[in-house]
Structure 1
Amino acid sequence: MSYKDIYAAWRAAPEDFWADAAKGIDWIEAPQTVFDADADVYGRWFVDGTCNTCWNAVDRHVEAGHGDRLALIYDSPVTNTKRQITYAELQDEVATLGAVLSGMGVGQGDRVIIYMPMVAEAVIAMLACARIGAVHSVVFGGFAAPELATRIDDAGAKAVISASCGIEPGRVIDYMKLLSEAIDIATVKPGGCLILQRDVQRCELVEGRDLDWADAMAQARAEGRRADCAEVKATDPAYILYTSGTTGQPKGVVRDTGGHMVAVNWTMKNIYNVDAGDVFWAASDVGWVVGHSYICYAPLLAGCTSVIYEGKPIGTPDAGAFWRVIADYDVKVLFTAPTAFRAIRGQDPEAALMADYDLSGLQSLFLAGERSDPATLQWAEEHLGVPVIDHWWQTETGWAISSVPMGIEALPVKHGSPGVPMPGYDVQVLDDEGQPVPNGTLGNIVVKLPLPPSCLPTLWNAEERFKSSYLNDFKGFYATSDAGILDEDGYLHIMARTDDIINVAGHRLSTGAMEEVLAHHKDVAECAVVGKADALKGQMPLGFFVTKAGVNRAEADICGELVKMVREEIGAVAAFKMAVGVNRLPKTRSGKVLRGTMQKIADAESYRMPAAIDDPAILDEIKDVLTTKGLVG
């Protein structure tokens, strides 16, 4: 069937569609009710079903005779360590760790904070929580102590699983120091902590609080303790994932158990076109939603092999790092952030390092995390020779809202578009009054309720905030907080976050559209555009750019060319007159450019240090450049 046929079939009978998808999951009690429209805020999926995520991700593959198949590949260039784990070995690890957690007093429904680096044990910890019915909340390793404390308190954590340290190129992050500070700050005191000692930097354990991972696992094995899979309601939370909130208080996105499995399992074949036994690599971090959905859960649910990579796209050791991993493990599909490819392109513009590796097994590249500029996408297409799909989804949804569904139909890729809406998502574009706008017109991107399986049913202990954040602005719709257009072919174009739409003398303009133009300049590796306050016009666009490696030209010449390009491509209405060269852009550790913080610096406003910032020193660099050029305030 074609994409149009399948999307139409979902529209005509959504419950039949998801009931069929639910057959891909093993149920303890199969759901009789596919969707209860009267449950909670907008309805709930599979309300009377019971199941277990760890069984579906691990045990059932072993039971089916696939215990020798590789489940996880751990590759760490920062420690020069590699490890491969079969499904049978993974089953033993998670069953043993589940017993350790139970021995720490963790039971079904209890919350466990996982604060770990990109190691195989992080995924094992997630699965062990799922096995015993505990609710995990993964906090990105290296988050500052106050941010970790906030999450411990909000989740009401019964236990914490952590490591002695995290390792970044050129530095070691003392996790134990941060963890101890966070527990001191937190109101909620976890009953115990399980600590993975790493050889690079071991730590002192706190007596009466901390257990050594290796010792606890060895003792459980010696005593023959293994945890069975708990029976969990489909509507019980599988995990809580905190995302930044505009108030500074993080929002705990809740992911349910049954709907999550059904949806992400469906995506593996239909969106990514991978089958059991294929190697799938999501080059992300387990602390982000991509790591949850596509490092841990979806690949294992589908019986694939998932790569856990503790490294960077450049610098570990060079811009050929990704090509080495793809070649070493015969990766079929790579999923990463556009920022990774901008960094690779900036260091190796001609992709010379690619020639050293056999990439013939790679069938497609998927990008997500922030909008990909067409120039980077075209560069990846040209050098990899495979389809490059910049699909679009959010922490709140857990899987793609729009994509090119390679397993259904390899539709044409439109540069600058994340593809077409996926079954389950009725995507519409509305004006600020909630009225539909014509195709090709910029507006607010919304999804008609109900949301499909795996999307958040609420925020943790914050239902009113859930409504005010997502449901109240457009009655009957989920507000994505993204702005864009639907074109005449049904393709979606994400232009900016709604707070990145700037108002220049009464004209609503997309900073994303301007970034597209800047990114096409032959010397530009990365760029960002923000709206700077202006007494006359309200706001004026301010561009930032990083040049490619080896470029040695006067900044003023490049700035002049960028201004001319925007005038030619968008028009004088954009009023684009200011661009500054910087050495690097401030980003989160997942690769999102911190445009909002850059705007506050330009407007001389106070700002809170973003919790997930990769390197805080970059903000001082931005301020110094703007101050030198007289562009602050």
Structure 2
Amino acid sequence: MSTITVNDAAFWQQEAQRLDWQQDFTSVVEEIDGGPRCRWFPGGRTNLSYNALDRHLAEKGDRCAIIQRDYRGATQRLSYHELWQQVNALSHLMISWGIRQGDRVMIVLPMTPLAAVAMLACARLGAVHVVVYSGVTSDALAQRVVACQPALLLHCSEHRGRQELPSIPTASATLRAVDCYSPDFTQALAQHIGCVVPCVWLESSQPSHLLFTSGTTGAPKGIVRDTGGYAVALLASLRHLFHVQDDEIFFTTADVGWVTGHSYGIYAPLLAGITTVMYEASTVNTPGESWWQMVAELGITRMLTIAGAIRLARQQGKPHASLASLRSLYLAGEPLDPATHSWVTRGMGVTCENHYWQTESGWPLLAGTGSGLAPVFTRAVDIVDATSGESCTPGQAGMLVIKDTLGPGGMSTLWQDDTQHDQRYWLRRDGRWFYATHDCAVRQNDSIVIQGRMDDVINIGGKRLATAEVENALAGIAGIIEVVATRTPHHLLGEMVALFVVTEGLTVQQEGMLKQQIRERLVSRCGRFALPRKIHFRRSLPKTFSGKFLRRMLTA
């Protein structure tokens, strides 16, 4: 791995001083055996729970740390001191269960303060938390249990607005399964209220948590995140990218089972000493009503969500609540279409910023307004031909790569699989390492436009066409809210394009005209082989809880 520049090192050296260290680090970054993996702030010892709670108590103990809106619409608040007390109580209880540094603790809890308490209790003890979306399927949960072998599994038996609950593995000699909404747990926790547990100071590069990818494009992988680099990166991003002030109320709509919920729902706001909002979704998915009402009632100042959710909110009409407190709306998770950006800035009258990042990166890689993005902070990027590895010319689509390092806070490796980490994610060219995002991008007017995943490719009579290229070609057509391209079998060509299009209540005649417009656009931008065999009009499309399209379900 190439050494970062003197200016880059100086930047991160300065940002690291905003964190409390029990022992100073000896350097900013060091490579591991000449490979793509590295250690950030080696030699330094710190603790996420201490930096998120303890260091704020003297000046901000009475400040609200968490506002939670539950699935019934009720609101509760926890101050930093109250949150610290609950974290200490659960830490003490976990010690009595035998949980020690390095043990994995799986957290399968809904979006309640207890989920944050459990994460911070693990961080306090040096245990590695593995948070899983609480509505995950039974098979997916079992797969993750086998993969990381947790010593403790915390779950919730109450439905709390969730339609289905996963089957919890039976407790064994190596796994304790605890229902955190049972009377037994409530009574046990109450006995530890008032106990204080000293933080376990961890080497900066030691893992703080594992986070499994959603698996919509392949088998879930256990992303390993470190401790010190992650905390430094999140604080730096809030300061330089989100421009947070001391009075912020930050609302991240993602569940804690996803990276956005980890980074900006829990850790970043608490590390900065501001207020974070946790939203426990109900069975009725109406962001256009509930979210804007929350902004008005709770005084939310900054909000982070995905473009798909805003498209759904747009279908539900203009906000019927005051958004005066909302300083910025941040979108991530998928390419941002012009219509959604325009609706936020003009229809809502709110500043809209676009971010691109991945579970693997931990925080944004690119940022900007609209679809044109630029690298964040010290990162250097390129767009390369996925076959040859050569740099693409402006306007030529290719794979986005990050040069040398993801920066602090990026994945350390894959759980118990350094080899797959190095081979799947990293490329070696001209003596440098390049992180392969596996996302399709194009450079336009000194900006980078993300088009979608590279691995979703349709083979049409030997011609390979990325679904991202099809969807990007159709962006901006009036009447289309969302569009997903998938493959459909063909007896001669092998495969052809099939489209699923969400529209704004068009008549049959208007749909016919739109079909013709779609065909003409695809021929002009992608070629005649891109002509879709089928075009399906839908009112909505199946998605994961995090908002990603379930392409495999549509293909089937």
Cα RMSD of the aligned pairs, angstroms, is: 2.4
> Which position in structure 1 is the counterpart of 2:451?
495
Alignment partner of 2:550 out of 556, 573, 594: 594
* 1:36 partnered with 2:30: yes
What is the deviation of 1:540? 2.8
Kindly tell me: are residues 191 and 496 of structure 1, through their superposed partners in 2, closer, same or farther at Cα, counting changes over 3 Å?
A: closer
Alignment partner of 2:102 out of 104, 109, 127: 109
Residues in 1 aligned to 2:526 and 2:371: alpha-carbon distance in whole angstroms: 15
Q: Is the 8 Å Cα contact of residues 116 and 166 (structure 1) preserved in structure 2?
A: no
Kindly tell me: are residues 545 and 189 of structure 1, through their superposed partners in 2, closer, same or farther at Cα, counting changes over 3 Å?
A: farther
Residues in 2 aligned to 1:324 and 1:525: alpha-carbon distance in whole angstroms: 23
In structure 2, what residue type is equivalent to 1:234?
A: S
Q: Is the 8 Å Cα contact of residues 210 and 223 (structure 2) preserved in structure 1?
A: yes
What is the deviation of 1:467? 1.7
Kindly tell me: are residues 318 and 508 of structure 1, through their superposed partners in 2, closer, same or farther at Cα, counting changes over 3 Å?
A: closer
Residues in 1 aligned to 2:451 and 2:286: alpha-carbon distance in whole angstroms: 34
What is the deviation of 1:247? 9.4
Deviations 1:414-440 (A, max 9, x none): x333x1001232111111211112122
Q: Is the 8 Å Cα contact of residues 504 and 575 (structure 1) preserved in structure 2?
A: no
Aligned-residue identity in percent: 34
What is the deviation of 1:317? 5.8
* 1:135 partnered with 2:122: no
Alignment partner of 1:336 out of 305, 311, 327: 305
In structure 1, what residue type is equivalent to 2:122?
A: C
In structure 1, what residue type is equivalent to 2:400?
A: I
Q: Is the 8 Å Cα contact of residues 149 and 183 (structure 1) preserved in structure 2?
A: no
Deviations 1:15-65 (A, max 9, x none): 2121111011100001022111245743211110000001111111113x1
> Which position in structure 2 is the counterpart of 1:481?
438
What is the deviation of 1:118? 1.1
Number of residue pairs matched by the alignment: 548
> Which position in structure 1 is the counterpart of 2:330?
366
- SS in structure 2 opposite 1:467? helix
Q: How does 1:343-492 map to 2 (within 5 A)?
A: 343-348=312-317, 351=318, 354=319, 356-404=320-368, 413=369, 415-417=370-372, 419-431=373-385, 432-472=387-427, 476-489=433-446, 491-492=447-448
What is the deviation of 1:576? 4.0
* 1:48 partnered with 2:43: yes
> Which position in structure 2 is the counterpart of 1:605?
none
What is the deviation of 1:316? 5.6
Residues in 1 aligned to 2:409 and 2:542: alpha-carbon distance in whole angstroms: 31
> Which position in structure 1 is the counterpart of 2:17?
23
Kindly tell me: are residues 366 and 442 of structure 1, through their superposed partners in 2, closer, same or farther at Cα, counting changes over 3 Å?
A: same
In structure 1, what residue type is equivalent to 2:445?
A: E
- SS in structure 1 opposite 2:191? helix
Residues in 2 aligned to 1:246 and 1:92: alpha-carbon distance in whole angstroms: 38
Deviations 1:456-489 (A, max 9, x none): 1211111111122212576721111111112332
Report the TM-score when normalising by structure 2: 0.92
Q: Is the 8 Å Cα contact of residues 524 and 546 (structure 1) preserved in structure 2?
A: yes
Deviations 1:282-325 (A, max 9, x none): 1110000000001010111111110001126x936673211111
Gaps of 5+ in 2: none
What is the deviation of 1:378? 1.7
Q: Is the 8 Å Cα contact of residues 275 and 302 (structure 1) preserved in structure 2?
A: no
Report the TM-score when normalising by structure 1: 0.81
> Which position in structure 2 is the counterpart of 1:410?
none
> Which position in structure 2 is the counterpart of 1:66?
60
* 1:86 partnered with 2:79: yes
Residues in 1 aligned to 2:426 and 2:491: alpha-carbon distance in whole angstroms: 34
Q: Is the 8 Å Cα contact of residues 183 and 189 (structure 1) preserved in structure 2?
A: no
Q: Is the 8 Å Cα contact of residues 559 and 580 (structure 1) preserved in structure 2?
A: no
> Which position in structure 1 is the counterpart of 2:246?
276
Q: Is the 8 Å Cα contact of residues 440 and 468 (structure 2) preserved in structure 1?
A: no
Q: Is the 8 Å Cα contact of residues 458 and 467 (structure 2) preserved in structure 1?
A: yes
Q: How does 1:234-313 map to 2 (within 5 A)?
A: 234-244=204-214, 249-311=219-281
Residues in 2 aligned to 1:191 and 1:394: alpha-carbon distance in whole angstroms: 31
Kindly tell me: are residues 473 and 117 of structure 1, through their superposed partners in 2, closer, same or farther at Cα, counting changes over 3 Å?
A: farther
> Which position in structure 1 is the counterpart of 2:293?
324
Q: How does 1:591-630 map to 2 (within 5 A)?
A: 591-599=547-555, 601=556
Residues in 1 aligned to 2:53 and 2:281: alpha-carbon distance in whole angstroms: 26
Q: Is the 8 Å Cα contact of residues 345 and 525 (structure 1) preserved in structure 2?
A: no
What is the deviation of 1:326? 1.1
Deviates more, 1:286-295 or 1:513-522: 513-522
Deviations 1:78-106 (A, max 9, x none): 32321011111111111111111111110
Residues in 2 aligned to 1:358 and 1:286: alpha-carbon distance in whole angstroms: 27
